[in-house]
Structure 1
């Protein structure tokens, strides 16, 4: 017996230290400059060459900026500039499915640059000293002949162009006469909306005398025009003001302050990425994932389930409008026949994707009802209620003999086996029932409220009885009936507050499935960890779920590790989609999920009705406070503060100076805020 106990102890110790080793953060490339920016100082950098990319977006343009620094600190930038509304014709050598990605886009390299001449020499600002990310991307070049060049890239928030703003500063004691030669390129292409003109050009004066310590600025534009649009209307100063105003609004709304500066900063950056990826479309403003593939389209997972329920708290009008337009589009496409609803509307909404049932009705029931409760809008609720009602009835109809909701797949769309009834679809249906029941009460639909509450209780039992299982020696969930390997989406019951199997589920997520990049999609012993698939969305759900069921310190340690890597590591500064698929692109809805770790996880914000919100706040060990200022609850800006007081938590909620709640609660307890203003 002692021999077996000793063996078990060794295995436990090995597992424990392996887990710690996985959490060790890779050396940071970046440092916090303040809580609104990060900087990479290359003056003494020896981890070169290095390359990375970042996406930035406005309503009519998105750009993925690929930058690479070689061993000599020479910088090269490639701008992949995408014009989402300009749909192109398929090429003759492309498969037909490419029509879903047929955005007018151009890649532009270092050759598309103006030249600078001083003292009969071409000034080549190729080496860089540092890089800054602050909602814009800035490269600080090493001075050449007393001239320091800084390049700042940002998109127009309203028009069809990207700006690269060059600042040339004279850092010598004498004035300098500097000459400029502009670059110009125009390409034309016929597309569905007519002739598209791709324009790249700089707009510098031919000659400029720059006094000591003074700067001269000019733009390089990467844009597109259509019909009556003119490249001469491009205005880098106007675009800069738009971008700064956008960032200022996000700096003022939903402001997180905690003792952890990294989490504060990634929370702010996540607001940027979640909110900038909003595009003009035939559906009105819509939020889209981005990532080089997904624009002017909406999905039942990314927009309905992930970002839509977050946007009401942000108080950013464009985001709330985009969320409503998403739900409205699905409402307008409720099937008239006995079939599933489309899971997406791609490329300006003209392509409904309806070849697969991914459990989208469950996503819609959950996301739409949670969004409506959070925004607290009676008119929107009345309008969208038929969408919720249809989605719930569809899920109810799709139950198997055991009560689990059947679907052909889940949001992984067949990348990995899901059986005939998976945990994701049933759990999201449960969430939809819970929130729809509360919404029905607000709409005075007493019969529906009671029915959905009863069905929610029944679905909670199904989740336990049908999916509850012993996996890898842990009391957790199997993902579908024949499932034998641990899966990432076993975290979903936790996010809904179901804690019956939390110990085993958390051990599965944060010990078995956890890696330095977060949670694996599946624990498969035949696949090396370095080749295994991970999607950030599951990690973000799991962190929220762990906090939701009270395991705050466990979740915080993982969140801290994850945040360090995503904000300061080798691929920054946002949550990513997946690996190896799409090479870890910065899809925008994942950033909304990051913010929801704080709002719904750490603070436990949960709407109980239009005028009542429950808070279940927690503070990790070592934290004495947390505040969230200008969080919009049912449309009203509020300030929430949590302070540790003698082993308890003081919870204070204010609306424009009016105190709505000032209460000390036990750790792990919940409290109700009445905010019928």
Structure 2
């Protein structure tokens, strides 16, 4: 009876909590979705409000800190970062950066007077930012902001339209400031920063007419010249890439908000790739992390995702990251650095071994399988072998993998062996077996990997399995007696022995907060990466109804709420920066969680769709993985599920399976 009462009470708490979350989501929603794929904040009386968004290209990244004041005026501060303009000493964050709060609109005179009383009407996001407002004495102002895709330039266009019934005389100043850095401090000598406007002058503006002008903010090394930038061409190029990302790996569900959040996550995941002297490098961003790679962000989080998107630049950057880590393999099995920085010229290993070997083995195995390219797989196999052997040598007397810290780098305790590292190592062993078969590796080697995986799975249960705060789940490390967000990790690698207690703990008031999972029960700190892993794992565990409700709440908050439109890194650290690999993790909720796709070969994958009860169908179209371009459609047929896979116009799988059953697809 006590057990029944406990379960009943928990169901009531979840129900009430779900209603409260829905109400809170509605009250915090500021943005709306548009038919063209963009989102818009139509300004209402809830002012003042401010936000920030990162926008990136191959040679520049910019964080726009923007807002609308209580009086309705637009505010903007730009933090501009040029990742490859390095400074001495050549450490992670030593790139050229400038903060610019210049507002050319305030310098314009109309009929011999400054414009006044600005009222912002709307702000639109679609890979660019467009702001529309009105100003006295009767003008409509349109500002658009975006980075160049290939140049070290941030670009802005402006348009003033006369909406009055009177002729106006408009004076737009020509503005240019040029800054020169100290050549002794620059790795490449002196850098030049230019902030300028173009298209200024004096204009007679009749009723209904518009005058347009622009601004450019760019920086360069000696000998370079970016004075002739075609801003309109750069805008079209930027939007062309956005459409490319949006038009591949297309999610179709009955929930338009989830489809849109997925589209925006693809954008942020893909734009943050930098063309360094060490090759293409995907970078987290956040004004801090560029022209460098990390074993978690690049190898573990984003690498396994890019093959599904089919973004060649992303695939090249991921392969480049794995090969950079491979440079540090050694006969003594000393740890690979956590981060390779400064365009490949330096390393960071400040938290010592964070379980980086397991992160790299896990990501490289899944990436190689999903790429479906035997040459790439052979290229990565030595790194996978080495990192697996490194992890094996780190197994302690309890049978789990020891490490000095984890990906949170001692911000929270992780003991001398944590659940995350051992879970990643377990999954990496399974990937190695699949990949090794494709490459014709010795049966004895693959049998050994299989045996090691089974032993690790048993050790995870024996060592980490525990009742924590009344929930039959996992302790994160030996001695841990407080719930941690990373108890979700076994679910993401198909270890479901403790799924019921773990899912209850994840969604309990002890861990779930308004912003997803708290890193540790009772703490205000959250890192989105844990929430994103958890949602993927709960879908994988076939608790799709619970997962869907929390995914909808989280997605609405990130896409349409107070801080948009992407998943974030953390809070309070970083102030919810839009680090890009988290957006890759968001997309993997769908590919690996909702659709349950797991690479099993260079031309094969396992799929275990988790179609929510209230949905009749869902699809992933234009999937670019396993060497093919294919569509996946899942449809409910009475009490069963039809899985249809069409590759390049040919049906390769079309069968009915039971709820929660797994299908093996060969392309």
* TM-score scaled by length of structure 1: 0.94
Q: Deviations over 1:344-370 (max 9, x none)?
A: 112222221234000000111100000
| Residue from 260, 265, 280 that aligns with 1:285 | 280
Q: Deviations over 1:149-208 (max 9, x none)?
A: 100100000001101111223335676553321221111102121111111111014134
The alpha-carbon distance between structure 1 residues 114 and 391, as it changes in their structure 2 partners (threshold 3 A), is same
Provide the secondary structure at the position in 1 that maps to 2:629: strand
The alpha-carbon distance between structure 1 residues 427 and 99, as it changes in their structure 2 partners (threshold 3 A), is same
1:251 Cα offset (Å)? 2.1
Where does 1:486-635 land on structure 2 (aligned, <5 Å)? 486-511=483-508, 512-524=510-522, 527=523, 532-635=524-627
Q: Is the 8 A contact 2:371 2:627 kept in 1?
A: yes
1:19 Cα offset (Å)? 6.1
Q: Deviations over 1:10-38 (max 9, x none)?
A: 68745753565356424211111236111
Q: Is the 8 A contact 1:183 1:201 kept in 2?
A: yes
The alpha-carbon distance between structure 1 residues 180 and 598, as it changes in their structure 2 partners (threshold 3 A), is same
Partner of residue 414, structure 2:
418
For the residues of structure 1 that align with 2:42 and 2:661, how far apart are their CA atoms?
A: 45
For the residues of structure 2 that align with 1:177 and 1:46, how far apart are their CA atoms?
A: 32
For the residues of structure 2 that align with 1:660 and 1:169, how far apart are their CA atoms?
A: 55
| Residue from 225, 232, 247 that aligns with 2:227 | 232
For the residues of structure 1 that align with 2:600 and 2:207, how far apart are their CA atoms?
A: 62
For the residues of structure 2 that align with 1:372 and 1:6, how far apart are their CA atoms?
A: 49
Q: Deviations over 1:475-519 (max 9, x none)?
A: 111111111111111100000111110000000101131111000
Q: Deviations over 1:20-58 (max 9, x none)?
A: 53564242111112361111111xx22211111000000
Partner of residue 188, structure 1:
180
1:607 Cα offset (Å)? 1.1
The alpha-carbon distance between structure 1 residues 111 and 670, as it changes in their structure 2 partners (threshold 3 A), is same
Where does 1:100-111 land on structure 2 (aligned, <5 Å)? 100-111=92-103
1:430 pairs with 2:426: yes
1:623 Cα offset (Å)? 1.2
Q: Deviations over 1:111-160 (max 9, x none)?
A: 55574333333335843111111111111011533421100100000001
Q: Deviations over 1:622-676 (max 9, x none)?
A: 211112111112132111111222222222111221111122221111112211x
Stretches of structure 2 that go unaligned for 5 or more consecutive residues are: none
Q: Is the 8 A contact 2:62 2:78 kept in 1?
A: yes
Where does 1:258-277 land on structure 2 (aligned, <5 Å)? 258-277=253-272
1:32 pairs with 2:29: no
1:543 Cα offset (Å)? 0.2
1:451 pairs with 2:483: no
Partner of residue 93, structure 1:
none
Q: Is the 8 A contact 1:148 1:168 kept in 2?
A: yes
For the residues of structure 2 that align with 1:662 and 1:18, how far apart are their CA atoms?
A: 40
For the residues of structure 2 that align with 1:518 and 1:334, how far apart are their CA atoms?
A: 37
The alpha-carbon distance between structure 1 residues 443 and 104, as it changes in their structure 2 partners (threshold 3 A), is same
Q: Is the 8 A contact 2:115 2:135 kept in 1?
A: no
Partner of residue 300, structure 1:
295
1:167 pairs with 2:159: yes
Where does 1:85-164 land on structure 2 (aligned, <5 Å)? 85-89=84-88, 99-111=91-103, 115-124=107-116, 126-164=118-156
| Residue from 462, 465, 480 that aligns with 2:462 | 465
Partner of residue 61, structure 1:
60
1:348 pairs with 2:347: no
For the residues of structure 2 that align with 1:499 and 1:193, how far apart are their CA atoms?
A: 53
Q: Deviations over 1:313-365 (max 9, x none)?
A: 00111111100100010111113434111111122222212340000001111
The alpha-carbon distance between structure 1 residues 10 and 378, as it changes in their structure 2 partners (threshold 3 A), is closer
The alpha-carbon distance between structure 1 residues 559 and 228, as it changes in their structure 2 partners (threshold 3 A), is same
For the residues of structure 2 that align with 1:11 and 1:280, how far apart are their CA atoms?
A: 51
For the residues of structure 2 that align with 1:476 and 1:34, how far apart are their CA atoms?
A: 44
Q: In the comparison of the two structures, how many residue pairs are matched?
A: 659
* TM-score scaled by length of structure 2: 0.95
Provide the secondary structure at the position in 2 that maps to 1:573: coil
The alpha-carbon distance between structure 1 residues 338 and 315, as it changes in their structure 2 partners (threshold 3 A), is closer
Q: Is the 8 A contact 2:603 2:627 kept in 1?
A: no
Partner of residue 403, structure 2:
407
Provide the secondary structure at the position in 2 that maps to 1:36: coil
The alpha-carbon distance between structure 1 residues 645 and 11, as it changes in their structure 2 partners (threshold 3 A), is closer
Q: Is the 8 A contact 1:83 1:224 kept in 2?
A: yes
Q: Is the 8 A contact 1:35 1:261 kept in 2?
A: no
Partner of residue 372, structure 1:
368
Q: Is the 8 A contact 1:35 1:265 kept in 2?
A: no
**What do you get for the CA RMSD once the two structures are aligned?**
2.1
Partner of residue 47, structure 1:
46
Partner of residue 94, structure 1:
none
For the residues of structure 1 that align with 2:64 and 2:503, how far apart are their CA atoms?
A: 37
Quick check: 627-636 or 195-204, which moved more? 627-636
Q: Is the 8 A contact 2:246 2:267 kept in 1?
A: no
Partner of residue 201, structure 1:
196
1:288 Cα offset (Å)? 0.6
For the residues of structure 2 that align with 1:261 and 1:164, how far apart are their CA atoms?
A: 31
